Chains A and B, each alone.
Chain A
Amino acid sequence: EAGVAQSPRYKIIEKRQSVAFWCNPISGHATLYWYQQILGQGPKLLIQFQNNGVVDDSQLPKDRFSAERLKGVDSTLKIQPAKLEDSAVYLCASSSTSMETQYFGPGTRLLVL
Protein backbone atom coordinates (compact mmCIF):
# COMPACT_ATOMS: atom_id res chain seq x y z
CA GLU A 1 0.00 0.00 0.00
CA ALA A 2 1.45 3.35 -1.03
CA GLY A 3 1.96 5.85 1.75
CA VAL A 4 1.24 9.56 1.92
CA ALA A 5 3.14 11.39 -0.81
CA GLN A 6 4.35 14.97 -0.49
CA SER A 7 6.21 17.29 -2.78
CA PRO A 8 8.50 19.06 -2.96
CA ARG A 9 10.71 17.61 -0.23
CA TYR A 10 12.70 20.82 0.17
CA LYS A 11 12.03 24.43 -0.70
CA ILE A 12 14.05 27.60 -0.17
CA ILE A 13 12.39 30.95 -0.80
CA GLU A 14 12.88 34.62 0.03
CA LYS A 15 10.54 36.29 2.51
CA ARG A 16 7.43 37.77 0.94
CA GLN A 17 7.48 35.13 -1.83
CA SER A 18 4.75 32.54 -2.27
CA VAL A 19 5.07 28.78 -1.96
CA ALA A 20 2.78 25.80 -2.38
CA PHE A 21 2.99 22.26 -1.07
CA TRP A 22 1.19 19.23 -2.44
CA CYS A 23 -0.06 16.13 -0.66
CA ASN A 24 -1.56 12.90 -1.99
CA PRO A 25 -3.08 10.85 0.84
CA ILE A 26 -3.43 7.10 1.10
CA SER A 27 -6.10 5.89 -1.31
CA GLY A 28 -9.54 5.88 0.26
CA HIS A 29 -8.64 8.01 3.25
CA ALA A 30 -11.37 10.55 3.86
CA THR A 31 -9.54 12.64 6.44
CA LEU A 32 -6.50 14.73 5.58
CA TYR A 33 -4.38 16.89 7.88
CA TRP A 34 -1.69 19.51 7.46
CA TYR A 35 0.75 20.04 10.32
CA GLN A 36 3.55 22.53 10.85
CA GLN A 37 6.63 21.38 12.74
CA ILE A 38 9.11 24.00 13.85
CA LEU A 39 12.58 22.77 14.71
CA GLY A 40 12.71 21.24 18.18
CA GLN A 41 8.92 21.13 18.60
CA GLY A 42 6.21 18.59 18.00
CA PRO A 43 3.91 18.93 14.98
CA LYS A 44 1.07 21.45 15.26
CA LEU A 45 -2.19 20.90 13.41
CA LEU A 46 -2.94 23.64 10.89
CA ILE A 47 -6.03 22.29 9.14
CA GLN A 48 -8.13 19.13 8.96
CA PHE A 49 -10.30 18.11 6.01
CA GLN A 50 -13.08 15.54 5.94
CA ASN A 51 -13.42 14.68 2.25
CA ASN A 52 -13.34 18.14 0.64
CA GLY A 53 -14.78 20.03 3.62
CA VAL A 54 -12.82 21.80 6.35
CA VAL A 55 -13.37 20.33 9.83
CA ASP A 56 -10.90 22.46 11.78
CA ASP A 57 -8.72 25.36 10.68
CA SER A 58 -8.57 27.16 14.03
CA GLN A 59 -4.76 27.26 14.05
CA LEU A 60 -4.28 28.20 10.41
CA PRO A 61 -2.95 31.78 9.99
CA LYS A 62 -5.59 32.68 7.46
CA ASP A 63 -4.08 36.01 6.52
CA ARG A 64 -1.26 34.20 4.73
CA PHE A 65 -2.02 30.46 4.69
CA SER A 66 -4.64 28.74 2.58
CA ALA A 67 -5.42 25.11 1.84
CA GLU A 68 -7.79 23.25 -0.41
CA ARG A 69 -8.88 19.72 -1.17
CA LEU A 70 -11.17 20.29 -4.10
CA LYS A 71 -11.95 16.73 -5.18
CA GLY A 72 -11.62 15.15 -1.75
CA VAL A 73 -8.36 13.46 -2.67
CA ASP A 74 -5.11 15.40 -2.94
CA SER A 75 -4.54 18.73 -1.25
CA THR A 76 -2.41 21.85 -1.55
CA LEU A 77 -1.23 24.19 1.19
CA LYS A 78 -0.15 27.68 0.16
CA ILE A 79 1.71 30.44 1.97
CA GLN A 80 1.47 33.94 0.54
CA PRO A 81 3.49 35.96 1.48
CA ALA A 82 6.00 33.90 3.46
CA LYS A 83 7.65 35.18 6.62
CA LEU A 84 10.90 34.11 8.23
CA GLU A 85 8.98 32.37 11.03
CA ASP A 86 7.30 30.09 8.48
CA SER A 87 10.53 28.12 8.20
CA ALA A 88 9.49 24.65 9.29
CA VAL A 89 8.63 21.17 8.09
CA TYR A 90 5.10 20.88 6.71
CA LEU A 91 3.65 17.45 7.26
CA CYS A 92 0.61 15.95 5.60
CA ALA A 93 -1.22 13.04 7.20
CA SER A 94 -4.30 11.02 6.32
CA SER A 95 -6.62 8.58 8.02
CA SER A 96 -9.62 6.54 6.94
CA THR A 97 -11.79 8.37 9.48
CA SER A 98 -11.07 11.11 11.99
CA MET A 99 -10.63 8.52 14.76
CA GLU A 100 -8.42 6.03 12.97
CA THR A 101 -4.62 5.96 12.89
CA GLN A 102 -3.02 8.90 11.15
CA TYR A 103 -0.36 8.11 8.57
CA PHE A 104 2.18 10.81 7.89
CA GLY A 105 4.10 11.73 4.79
CA PRO A 106 7.82 12.56 4.83
CA GLY A 107 7.16 16.30 4.98
CA THR A 108 8.33 19.34 3.06
CA ARG A 109 11.17 21.27 4.63
CA LEU A 110 10.74 25.02 4.01
CA LEU A 111 13.45 27.57 4.58
CA VAL A 112 12.50 31.24 4.30
CA LEU A 113 15.47 33.60 3.90
Chain B
Amino acid sequence: DAKTTQPNSMESNEEEPVHLPCNHSTISGTDYIHWYRQLPSQGPEYVIHGLTSNVNNRMASLAIAEDRKSSTLILHRATLRDAAVYYCILRAIAGGTSYGKLTFGQGTILTVHP
Protein backbone atom coordinates (compact mmCIF):
# COMPACT_ATOMS: atom_id res chain seq x y z
CA ASP B 1 0.00 0.00 0.00
CA ALA B 2 1.21 3.49 -0.82
CA LYS B 3 2.06 5.30 2.41
CA THR B 4 1.46 8.80 3.70
CA THR B 5 3.48 10.87 6.17
CA GLN B 6 1.82 13.40 8.45
CA PRO B 7 3.02 15.41 11.44
CA ASN B 8 2.05 13.80 14.73
CA SER B 9 0.37 16.94 16.02
CA MET B 10 -0.49 20.54 15.18
CA GLU B 11 -2.02 23.42 17.06
CA SER B 12 -4.21 26.27 15.97
CA ASN B 13 -6.20 29.12 17.42
CA GLU B 14 -9.92 29.36 17.00
CA GLU B 15 -11.12 31.20 13.88
CA GLU B 16 -7.69 31.02 12.24
CA PRO B 17 -6.94 28.95 9.12
CA VAL B 18 -5.26 25.58 9.55
CA HIS B 19 -3.08 23.88 6.95
CA LEU B 20 -2.57 20.17 7.56
CA PRO B 21 0.20 18.72 5.36
CA CYS B 22 0.54 15.20 3.99
CA ASN B 23 3.41 13.68 2.01
CA HIS B 24 2.77 10.76 -0.32
CA SER B 25 5.84 10.50 -2.52
CA THR B 26 5.03 6.95 -3.70
CA ILE B 27 1.51 7.79 -4.89
CA SER B 28 0.45 6.03 -8.07
CA GLY B 29 -1.68 7.36 -10.87
CA THR B 30 -4.69 5.37 -9.68
CA ASP B 31 -4.62 6.61 -6.07
CA TYR B 32 -7.15 9.14 -4.82
CA ILE B 33 -6.14 11.31 -1.85
CA HIS B 34 -8.74 11.03 0.91
CA TRP B 35 -9.01 12.82 4.22
CA TYR B 36 -11.00 11.55 7.16
CA ARG B 37 -11.14 12.92 10.65
CA GLN B 38 -12.00 11.35 13.98
CA LEU B 39 -13.53 13.45 16.71
CA PRO B 40 -13.03 12.27 20.31
CA SER B 41 -14.98 9.10 21.12
CA GLN B 42 -16.46 8.89 17.61
CA GLY B 43 -15.82 6.91 14.47
CA PRO B 44 -13.93 8.52 11.60
CA GLU B 45 -15.87 10.76 9.24
CA TYR B 46 -15.18 11.66 5.64
CA VAL B 47 -13.85 15.15 5.00
CA ILE B 48 -12.80 15.46 1.36
CA HIS B 49 -11.01 13.69 -1.47
CA GLY B 50 -9.34 14.53 -4.77
CA LEU B 51 -7.25 13.13 -7.59
CA THR B 52 -5.34 15.94 -9.28
CA SER B 53 -7.22 19.22 -8.99
CA ASN B 54 -7.85 21.25 -5.86
CA VAL B 55 -11.20 20.53 -4.26
CA ASN B 56 -13.54 22.52 -2.05
CA ASN B 57 -16.55 21.48 0.00
CA ARG B 58 -18.46 22.82 2.96
CA MET B 59 -16.01 21.33 5.44
CA ALA B 60 -12.61 22.05 3.94
CA SER B 61 -10.40 22.57 0.91
CA LEU B 62 -7.84 20.16 -0.48
CA ALA B 63 -4.78 21.53 -2.25
CA ILE B 64 -2.86 18.94 -4.28
CA ALA B 65 0.69 19.56 -5.47
CA GLU B 66 1.24 19.47 -9.21
CA ASP B 67 3.39 16.32 -8.94
CA ARG B 68 0.81 14.83 -6.52
CA LYS B 69 3.53 13.89 -4.05
CA SER B 70 2.01 16.03 -1.34
CA SER B 71 -1.30 17.60 -0.38
CA THR B 72 -2.67 20.01 2.20
CA LEU B 73 -6.01 19.97 3.94
CA ILE B 74 -7.17 23.50 4.66
CA LEU B 75 -9.68 24.39 7.34
CA HIS B 76 -10.49 28.01 6.59
CA ARG B 77 -11.61 29.00 10.08
CA ALA B 78 -10.91 26.49 12.79
CA THR B 79 -13.48 26.02 15.52
CA LEU B 80 -13.23 24.08 18.76
CA ARG B 81 -15.32 21.37 17.11
CA ASP B 82 -12.55 20.81 14.56
CA ALA B 83 -10.26 19.38 17.23
CA ALA B 84 -9.73 15.82 16.03
CA VAL B 85 -7.28 13.36 14.51
CA TYR B 86 -6.97 13.98 10.78
CA TYR B 87 -6.03 11.08 8.54
CA CYS B 88 -4.60 11.42 5.03
CA ILE B 89 -5.19 8.20 3.08
CA LEU B 90 -4.39 7.03 -0.42
CA ARG B 91 -7.22 5.00 -1.90
CA ALA B 92 -6.60 2.90 -4.98
CA ILE B 93 -9.31 3.10 -7.63
CA ALA B 94 -8.07 0.29 -9.81
CA GLY B 95 -6.48 -3.11 -9.61
CA GLY B 96 -4.70 -5.14 -6.98
CA THR B 97 -5.56 -6.13 -3.44
CA SER B 98 -5.68 -2.51 -2.29
CA TYR B 99 -8.67 -1.61 -4.49
CA GLY B 100 -11.02 0.69 -2.61
CA LYS B 101 -9.41 0.10 0.77
CA LEU B 102 -8.78 2.75 3.40
CA THR B 103 -5.48 2.15 5.20
CA PHE B 104 -5.25 4.48 8.17
CA GLY B 105 -1.93 5.72 9.55
CA GLN B 106 -1.59 7.48 12.89
CA GLY B 107 -2.82 10.82 11.56
CA THR B 108 -2.31 14.34 12.88
CA ILE B 109 -3.79 15.34 16.20
CA LEU B 110 -5.17 18.86 15.79
CA THR B 111 -5.60 20.94 18.92
CA VAL B 112 -7.63 24.14 18.63
CA HIS B 113 -7.15 26.80 21.30
CA PRO B 114 -9.97 29.21 22.20
Q: A: which residues have CB within 8 A of B?
A: 4, 40-45, 48, 56, 58, 91, 93, 98-99, 101-107
Contact = CB atoms under 8 A, between A and B. Distances in A.
B67 to A, nearest CB: 25
Given A91-B43, A104-B43, A105-B43, A98 B99 contact: yes
Q: Is chain A's interface secondary structure helix, strand, loop, or mixed overall?
A: loop
Contact of B93 (A40, A42, A99, A107): A99
Contact of B43 (A41, A45, A93): A93
Of the candidates B44, B85, B99, the one having the most CB atoms from chain A within 10 angstroms of its own CB is B44
B43 A98 contact: no
Sorting the interface of chain B by its residue count into under 10, 10 to 19, 20 to 34 or 35 or more gives 10 to 19
Q: Is chain B's interface secondary structure helix, strand, loop, or mixed overall?
A: loop
Given A98-B99, A99-B93, A42 B46 contact: no
A104 B104 CA distance: 13
Interface string B92-104: 0100010111111
Contacts of A91: 43-44
B46 A103 contact: yes
Contacts of A103: 45-46
- CB-based closest 7 A-B pairs: A104-B43, A42-B104, A98-B100, A101-B46, A99-B100, A43-B104, A104-B44
Interface of B: 41-46, 85, 87, 93, 97, 99-107
A32 to B, nearest CB: 13
A43 B105 CA distance: 8
B106 A42 contact: yes
A29 to B, nearest CB: 14
Contacts of A41: 106
Contacts of B44: 43, 91, 93, 102, 104
A43 B42 CA distance: 12
Contacts of B105: 42
Given A93-B44, A102-B46, A106-B41, 18 more contacts: A4-B43, A42-B106, A42-B107, A56-B101, A93-B43, A98-B99, A98-B100, A99-B99, A99-B100, A101-B46, A102-B102, A103-B45, A104-B43, A105-B43, A106-B42, A106-B43, A107-B42, A107-B43
